[in-house]
Structure 1
């Protein structure tokens, strides 16, 4: 089975959910026009990854300005379910393309925010989500820990079995193993990590999991922040995220990318049987396991 996929390295319209979805729609139309059956968007593409923000917080200190900024962030985050989700479902349906979109998700009941990957089918609509189970460092100030028991699944779709982890969750070996145990063909790794070392992480996951790995990041510069937010940057800050998106084969070889220092859609035609063929000599959930010596039973409920 062959499937054409794309990873979208793009800049959101920062802290503006409506205009960001406008841009997302244009990108989906472009990708679908070029034959993509599945498109992946970066971590917190909606409404943007708040790099360099402190939200006016330090140990023992919060400010009114920081709370006001959090309110703005919350108001422009995605509610599930909600009208913006309906619009995303329509975009997928109108373009006959599967979508996985990194968003900041707001909880209308408790007021918390989550770093979430949303899965949408062109025929079935919203399939489900994965909430980041361990935000990294100061991300914990604004993102709550996700409900892993409900959101660490792999979705069986017409374009392959897909699932994955967000950014540095991919450095959690047992989290990776939980995904591997569900036999993904497309392993998704949206991120905000633009270090030169990140592509090697994608290669490792591909070799370890024997799956195609789709890594996706934003490209972001100083001028992409509205003027009122540029006060959070230093004089040296120009390019805030270089990108580094890539598509990697089950043998750990780059098929497309890494893409640096520009927006773009990386595309590749994938032969899903390559996942099966790659397991001749290594299968992390099959013949290359020793459950008698190394048992692993993740909590699933």
Structure 2
């Protein structure tokens, strides 16, 4: 029996440093996707309030004013703004994986909330290790973020942020959770600059991120929704991105939908184009790929190679119990 699902991947420009504007645009994209029959929708990494590329291109001192605004416009998981998004998801009757900068007290985390068609946050996770200079802004996710897959009416939905796709043990653990549709949430990533003008690394390009997402589809035998941000020229200054040869605008996007054998399932859009990429998929098609390779099944050798996982989240404060005498 077939299990057909219409999936969607968002490629769009955030409403930079603007929480209310970000929520409005998120709801608009959810409604637009629902009108197109999308049942599972993925958003980019820290879509709200956008990925602050200035942390890579400008010094900490110069970024202080921007980061102050960034903190003020990050999204709390339990907030009126989040409830507006949840209501929109419920009205649409779809499943959404929402990437956002989560504010929890005075700390920020690179979060993904998994929102069910009933509008409930059925799972919430944080990037377990922010990458390089990201660590100056966002904290680490704990062990509860190792769970990356949840059940839904549309199959088992998974999600990872950005370079979590380069962590082989984390990917392997997701495969063991039975992922069928994976949301790969990414920031804007740009083409390789002229090395004589700007030394840079290939793995920090949209092409490399595209390939990493495609490899996860192949390795995990799962559908992958690649969602990425774009940036336009008028927003370079707001993001402290003027005067470098990396953040070329309009650009940053590399979104795609891959099948469980790694094949592209829709037409690509331009690197600076806003779009919701869609594809109609049949979860039964995963069996084609699994017949050849099941990474945590018949193609594994757990007698020789296995993964050790600590599922218990660490606590900042543990209260000692009083002994009764």
Relative to the length of structure 1, the TM-score reads: 0.91
- How far apart, in 2, do the equivalents of 1:91 and 1:124 lie? 8
Query: Does 1:160 find its partner at 2:155?
Result: yes
Higher Cα radius of gyration: 2
Query: Does the CA contact (< 8 Å) of 1:199 and 1:258 recur in 2?
Result: no
1:231 is displaced (CA, Å) by 5.0
- How far apart, in 2, do the equivalents of 1:44 and 1:68 lie? 19
Query: Does 1:199 find its partner at 2:185?
Result: no
Match of 2:111 in 1: 116
- How far apart, in 1, do the equivalents of 2:152 and 2:143 lie? 21
- How far apart, in 2, do the equivalents of 1:54 and 1:279 lie? 40
**Aligned to 1:233, which of 242, 245, 261?**
242
- How far apart, in 2, do the equivalents of 1:240 and 1:116 lie? 26
- How far apart, in 2, do the equivalents of 1:54 and 1:271 lie? 40
Q: CA offsets per residue over residues 188-226 of structure 1, 9 Å max, x none?
A: 11112342222221221111101101111011122135x
The 3-state SS of whatever aligns with 1:274 is helix
1:55 is displaced (CA, Å) by 10
Query: Does the CA contact (< 8 Å) of 2:221 and 2:289 recur in 1?
Result: yes
Per the alignment, do residues 82 and 55 of structure 1 end up closer, same or farther by CA in structure 2, a change over 3 Å counting?
farther
- How far apart, in 2, do the equivalents of 1:258 and 1:200 lie? 14
Query: Does the CA contact (< 8 Å) of 1:20 and 1:46 recur in 2?
Result: yes
Q: CA offsets per residue over residues 29-80 of structure 1, 9 Å max, x none?
A: 111111111111111110000002369755xxxx4x6444323111111102
Q: Say what the alpha-carbon RMSD is for the aligned residues.
A: 1.9
Per the alignment, do residues 240 and 133 of structure 1 end up closer, same or farther by CA in structure 2, a change over 3 Å counting?
farther
- How far apart, in 1, do the equivalents of 2:250 and 2:128 lie? 25
1:51-90 counterparts in 2 under 5 A?
Answer: 51-53=53-55, 63=61, 66-90=63-87
- How far apart, in 2, do the equivalents of 1:136 and 1:126 lie? 26
- How far apart, in 2, do the equivalents of 1:240 and 1:169 lie? 26
**Aligned to 2:306, which of 291, 295, 301?**
295
Q: Which residues of structure 1 form unaligned runs of 5+?
A: none
- How far apart, in 1, do the equivalents of 2:275 and 2:145 lie? 33
Query: Does the CA contact (< 8 Å) of 2:225 and 2:256 recur in 1?
Result: yes
Relative to the length of structure 2, the TM-score reads: 0.84
Match of 2:183 in 1: 188
- How far apart, in 1, do the equivalents of 2:79 and 2:23 lie? 14
Q: Which residues of structure 2 form unaligned runs of 5+?
A: 191-205, 313-325
Per the alignment, do residues 167 and 56 of structure 1 end up closer, same or farther by CA in structure 2, a change over 3 Å counting?
closer
- Number of aligned residue pairs: give it: 292
Query: Does 1:105 find its partner at 2:102?
Result: yes
Match of 1:169 in 2: 164
The 3-state SS of whatever aligns with 2:7 is strand
The 3-state SS of whatever aligns with 2:54 is coil
Per the alignment, do residues 222 and 285 of structure 1 end up closer, same or farther by CA in structure 2, a change over 3 Å counting?
same
- How far apart, in 1, do the equivalents of 2:19 and 2:146 lie? 23
Query: Does the CA contact (< 8 Å) of 2:53 and 2:239 recur in 1?
Result: no
